[in-house]
Structure 1
Amino acid sequence: MHSKEFRIFYIVFFLVTIGLYSCFAQTANKLKIKHTVVAPVPNYSKSGQSRDPLILIDGKLASHKILWLDNNTLGWENYGQITIDLELQETSSVSKIAIHTAKNEAAGVYLPLNINIFTSIDGNNYSYAGDISGYDESAVNTYKAVELQNDKINSNAKFIKLVINPQGRMFFTDEITITGKSKSLSLFQSSNILSKGQLQNIISKNKSAEINRRALIDKLYSMTGNANNKNEIRLQLLNEKDLANQQIYQKYQSLISGLSVSKNTVEGLSFEVLSSPWGNGKSEGKSKLILTPTNVTHYVAVRVKNNQNKEVSSSFVLKGINNIETSVYETQEINTRSSKNVSDVLLPITVNSKLDFNPGETKVLILALKSSQERKSAINLSLTGSNDQALVIDYQSINLGIDKNYKNTLNFNVNVWPYYTYPFFKGREQQIKQDLADHYSNIFVIPAKVLEPNNITTNHNSLINYLKNYQAGDKVMLFINHKGYVKSPGNYMQASWQKKFLTWYDTIYKILKDHNISDQDIYLYPFDEIRENELPLFKSFATWVKSVRPQSQIYLTIYYEKFLPQVQPLADVYQLLVKSNDLGLIKPNKGHEFWIYDIMDDSKNVDPYSRYRLLAWKAFQYNARGIGFWAYGDQFGSSVWDDFDGGQGDYNVVYDKGNSIIPSKRWEAFKQGVEDYFILNKYQQKFGEAAAKKLALQVLSVPTNQEKAEDIRRIMTQQLSK
């Protein structure tokens, strides 16, 4: 007979065995989610779009064929990080998490960089459970609904935290499902509890790894080389876990560059002139003929390739400059918010500066050449370590009368909204002021926070200090921002408000006059991108202020051309967005200047030629007296070198290096476009408007042909020189 102790042991053993068996035998099922919280609050602005996080756990997918057009979808716009906290009905063994989302790059909607997964038993102490990559190799600019998932989690949890690193400007989801076993073998938290700092470090590291993964794969696809070798590297990149490590990243950079090394290519460095400085120009061999007006800049791109399967250092030598103002830039790639490697940075280099090449690496140098006098010179560029002879640029400048006086008389306006209150400007004010002048910017916009509209008790020291950045001759736009009066009119346009406004305005006017700013250069800027519900306020204000202060002038920007009939009669200058508006329908009125502008979303990814350079050609073709874009220096996050450190990509056309500024291809292409306008206007003066616009139309009709503007500019210069 068994002892009592043995019988008890036998019963306990039997019960444990049954429990273990039932636990192991239990199949994974969809787990019930009790509650969910999201941060920040979804802000996608489509009318009717839900902001209730419970729709993520209602078991229903969006019914609309486009995810973000369905009201059962949560959407976020311009956020750098999104957190979704989930609480399960009971503590469970979680094996899989899936989140349903969609993308269409053409609509600005991307799959996320990644989704970080953290689990907890008590909702306070979290452990890392893995992540979900959002990388997808389907065709870009097409719609695709995707279920992103991780089915290898294996973690006990009652609370789950999903931290999403978006890519692009928008992210959408309509459903989250969690799979696992409702009873876990051991209901204890992992010992690897994370501090808040450790948790954020994991998020940042995974984010960097995904950015680098996409950058390397993008570069891989752009390279020539053996298809099998490329595919092998691609598979390695998809499975590499440590791409946040810069040494690992550089290893793959060199590996990819080496793909283009050919055994049949002569060793050493080779170089060639490209047909366009702003994109993937065609090879024009080792010589270039340049005919250019004096006082304008001509840009030449030179592609240099290391044909060896080893690292090479070189430097360049320029001969035959002969008082030609010359700047040389090495183009550098920047990773954009859409995870593309874009050659945009123009890093200034000097003679004898060292250029380091990885095996098979290609670099592009851009030369900016300008002469104030007529000159003719053969410029020779050579590289140490090159087996080629010197590259020859036959440069000739001709005086067509495009001088400072001509430019001032032409009165062509450039507005890039350089707000000196923005963080990027701090400590660089003087360099930026000169840079703006060099690029023909002549509009000085003063923000509302500096102006303090209707504040009649301030000493206006903010304005006086801000005016240190003013450049003589610039037009001054006083951004008084009346948009807020739509929702909260208060006493707007009542006698008491009008009295206070005039007191404020007269004080501001005197301060500007004391700084030698003339009446004709001062404008009130009451609305930006005016909307339909703001039109009545604009009309009442503009009519009134012109009646009591006849010298006052009005400037505003317009998003939709349909508002022009109501705005045009009262605006002295109106600047219309080029996007989605037919510029051919605009009929400028005498005494009411028509300008155009563009908004450069994901600006580093925007084509320098078609969007920046050709903006001035559009102005000429459609009789606009000014151009501009948003913006010169609107930085999100802590660095203009990183598009992922803020809620959206930066709107910058320059970069920083300490207190110095570095130009971009886009900024120099824009400058070239303004100078194209000067030449077009000269051509019009000599050959007539119809002839000049016929040439401009040839360029605008093929905006992707980057050689066309170069060809037409050369033709105009040749004909004007005769």
Structure 2
Amino acid sequence: QIEPISGASYSTAAGAAGVLWPRSIFVLVSDDGQRFFPAGDLAAQAADRPATGYATFRFARIDFRTHGRYVAFIVDPTGSYTFCDEIEVLSGDPGWLRTPVSGESTSDLQRFFVDARTRVAIARRLAADVGTVRRELESSLQISAAVRARLVPELAAAENEVDAIPAPPHDSFRAVLPLNATHTRIFAVHGQAAQARGLPPLSAWVVNPWDFVRPFDEPPAGADGPGTLSISAMSGETRSGAINFSNATGRSMKVALDVDAGTAGSDLRLYEAIWTDTRELTPVADALVPLREGPAFDVPAGMTRQLWITFTPSDRETGTSRGRLRATSDGGISVSIPLELRVLSGSFPARPTLHLGGWDYTDGDQVYGLTPNNRDALIRQLRLLNVDSPWARRAMLPGTYDGAGHLKTAPDTSIFDQWVSSWPDANRYMIFVNASDSLGGVPVTDARFPTAAADWIKFWATHAARLGVQPSQLVLLLVDEPHLPSQDERVVTWARAIKAGEPRVRIWEDPTYTDPAASLPQLLGVADLLALKRSLMLEEGARFVDFYRQRRARGQGLDVYGASGPARLLDPYTYYRLQAWVCADIGAGGSFFWSFVDDGDGSSWNEYAAKKTLYSPFFFSSDDVTISKHTEAIREGVEDFEYLAMLRDRVTLLSRTDPNRAGLSRAIALLDSAAGTVLGASGATDMEWVSDKDRLSAERVRLAIADLLELLR
């Protein structure tokens, strides 16, 4: 029956195993179970929740004055988990039953959640930035009383607008900073405060491209000029640099860019790093949008904006060219940054050694962030990224089988054919079979199953060969992340039947036992390639890794894959770039990431609306795909691996033909120590982007390899 409701509570725990307190706990009431009315957010006033360490906590409010027969709790977790051991609905005054419930109702709780979370996130984003600017106004001794007296009311006026801001249009909103006009005014107050503290209207300074940047960042105190942007690359590879620009005024600037003749060229590309907020309310300058001809970009009042520069030499002479990049605002303010572009000796191969993939599932066009209108754009970006191991999940259909288990009706090949035509030069064709307890209606326990599976793989191997794909290029993941005996047994049953039909087809498995020896020995035996999960390598340490090193020493192939998230807050350097160095360290031949297409259910540009954790390093819209610092870090990792491969090949050749060659012993020593040096650097196992750490070790070792390659030519 309908009851008066004075409040509600939600009992939970957090502070251990990656579990954090929920961001919001929305409570809605309904008399009929169809139309729900918001009652409040239990987390909105819970300021006394424990800040650190494991604890239990009861989120509660007793200020409701409503009624209903049905009560809905919608929890917005911070991260992937929330736990609850008790929910309470508190009774109220029976007289409230005579008062209609006020407010706007909803019959779509999912839509309500997205709108409510977006509205709350915007309010919290703006409130946090108001707090930052207010602390600046209150603490800076360089801001005069007169300026403070003018800016404090401006900031207060903007703050007063925050709670009244409605949810933005659901389908068009992007969480790009500044989020709205009120946010723009908050940043403008900061710009005026920064100007009052003596900062120049427009500043520029060179930064490590992989370091975390913040919207309020300022040029380093006491720096002697902006520094020199220096990028070194071989012909045919792409390397990156970055420059921060800060606007210490109260108005937006349009900044025009010009690279002088000493360094200009089509091999130098300029991108704007776009600010987007995350579900965790940690803004990131991650999406990289190319600047067009006559390049210019906006630097909003009071914000720092980053210019990303890539260098892909193709027809330049080996050596160093120097010049300047000049940035001029629409108000006539100009800054100049020295550029140094070095073309290293040697040429980068068209097909890198390290195999690369990321469960892109481009055999379809309606999965995760993939649509019919952006599929081609994604494939184009993946090919530019040196992906040579695309993934499919529906390409190898089962067909039907007769009473003896032989193939009776051939599978439809159209999906497979289209997929292969999209990837004509792939090295591996990775297929997630998702092996079940039957194939085409034949149970795995049926005596016909081995025959059916053998016929199935023979058909597909023969068909693939007609398209130019060799059986060894078909790489099958039968069961994802097996960690139970029943899953191991399923892999073994399928793999044995497949190998009996076509032994050249390869099996790729990614077991996730914390003790790898706990998996069935037969599972390890039937897999041609074993993939190590990067997080398990870090958590379980040398014992875990050495188990697989021993497998490799006996001839089994290894790959490495990452499956952590949310992607935007992962360090591009340690998580993405250094994975290639992990591959080099253990002798793995492939690097994979979950997932190039998993965008948290369509929320790349608006994480406030994300229904799930976002894993893709790309930014998806319905008809386009935008690269990011994270994708560029993947590219540079593959290129780093190639430097090691080049040096190893050169050392192998000279050890046989010219063992006394000057520099050879140094090269051998560097090969032995390179991966350990990079992976042993301070912070190399810390995957959080916001952390300060050494992000130069890979670059130092790469350039040391380049110098030795030059010496050993």
TM range, normalised to the smaller chain?
0.7 to 0.9
Structure 2: gaps (5+ residues): 140-147, 169-177, 401-406, 652-665, 685-692
In structure 2, give the amino acid aligned to 1:402: F
Cα drift, residue 493 of structure 1? 5.8
Counterpart Cα distance in 2 of 1:150 and 1:204: 22
**1:473–1:162 CA distance, 2 compared to 1 (3 A):** closer
Q: Find the partner of 1:586 among 548, 552, 555.
A: 548
Residue matched to 2:474: 522
Corresponding residue SS for 2:443: coil
1:307 aligns with 2:248: yes
Residue matched to 1:552: 505
Cα drift, residue 185 of structure 1? 2.9
1:245-264 CA distances to partner (integer Å, 9 max, x unpaired)? Answer: 56995313431453252324
In structure 1, give the amino acid aligned to 2:536: S
Comparing 598-607 with 170-179, greater Cα deviation is found at 170-179
1:145 aligns with 2:81: no
Counterpart Cα distance in 1 of 2:391 and 2:499: 21
Q: Find the partner of 1:211 among 108, 117, 121.
A: 121
Contact 1:210 1:243 in 2 (8 A): no
Contact 1:328 1:366 in 2 (8 A): yes
Contact 1:337 1:648 in 2 (8 A): no
Normalised TM-score (structure 2): 0.79
1:241 aligns with 2:146: no
**1:696–1:125 CA distance, 2 compared to 1 (3 A):** closer
Residue matched to 2:674: 695
Corresponding residue SS for 2:190: helix
Residue matched to 1:162: 73
Cα drift, residue 548 of structure 1? 4.2
1:185 aligns with 2:95: yes
How much identity, in percent, do the aligned residues show?
17
Cα drift, residue 632 of structure 1? 0.5
Cα drift, residue 452 of structure 1? 1.6
Please give the residue correspondences for 1:443-522 in structure 2 after superposition, counting only pairs within 5 Å. 443-447=389-393, 449-455=394-400, 456=407, 457=409, 458-484=411-437, 491-492=443-444, 494-522=446-474
Residue matched to 1:132: 42
1:436 aligns with 2:358: no
Corresponding residue SS for 1:206: helix
Normalised TM-score (structure 1): 0.78
**1:621–1:214 CA distance, 2 compared to 1 (3 A):** farther
Q: Find the partner of 1:600 among 535, 540, 564.
A: 564
**1:545–1:238 CA distance, 2 compared to 1 (3 A):** farther
Counterpart Cα distance in 2 of 1:432 and 1:578: 25
Counterpart Cα distance in 2 of 1:290 and 1:195: 57
Q: Find the partner of 2:309 among 363, 367, 370.
A: 367
Corresponding residue SS for 1:505: helix
Q: Find the partner of 1:250 among 181, 187, 201.
A: 181
Please give the residue correspondences for 1:616-655 in structure 2 after superposition, counting only pairs within 5 Å. 616-655=580-619
Residue matched to 2:577: 613
Contact 1:295 1:403 in 2 (8 A): yes
**1:691–1:266 CA distance, 2 compared to 1 (3 A):** closer
Cα drift, residue 287 of structure 1? 1.5
Residue matched to 1:269: 202
Counterpart Cα distance in 2 of 1:347 and 1:467: 30
Contact 1:169 1:647 in 2 (8 A): no
Counterpart Cα distance in 1 of 2:126 and 2:16: 19
Counterpart Cα distance in 1 of 2:563 and 2:89: 41
Residue matched to 1:78: none
Comparing 108-117 with 130-139, greater Cα deviation is found at 130-139
Contact 1:335 1:342 in 2 (8 A): yes
Counterpart Cα distance in 2 of 1:199 and 1:647: 13
Residue matched to 2:232: 291
**1:118–1:544 CA distance, 2 compared to 1 (3 A):** closer
Aligned residue pair count: 625
Contact 1:119 1:155 in 2 (8 A): no
Q: Find the partner of 2:328 among 359, 379, 384.
A: 384
Cα drift, residue 197 of structure 1? 4.9
1:656 aligns with 2:609: no
1:338 aligns with 2:275: no
1:699-721 CA distances to partner (integer Å, 9 max, x unpaired)? Answer: 21121311222222233323332
Contact 1:242 1:248 in 2 (8 A): no
Comparing 613-622 with 526-535, greater Cα deviation is found at 526-535
**1:428–1:154 CA distance, 2 compared to 1 (3 A):** closer
Counterpart Cα distance in 1 of 2:131 and 2:634: 29
Contact 1:291 1:717 in 2 (8 A): no
Corresponding residue SS for 2:387: coil
1:408-467 CA distances to partner (integer Å, 9 max, x unpaired)? Answer: 5xx3211211102253332233322222122121113221x3322354523332322333
Structure 1: gaps (5+ residues): 1-86
Contact 2:210 2:573 in 1 (8 A): no
Counterpart Cα distance in 2 of 1:139 and 1:310: 40
Counterpart Cα distance in 1 of 2:119 and 2:503: 60
Counterpart Cα distance in 2 of 1:199 and 1:681: 54
1:318 aligns with 2:259: yes
Counterpart Cα distance in 2 of 1:221 and 1:681: 51
1:485-521 CA distances to partner (integer Å, 9 max, x unpaired)? Answer: 69x9973164312222223222211221111112331
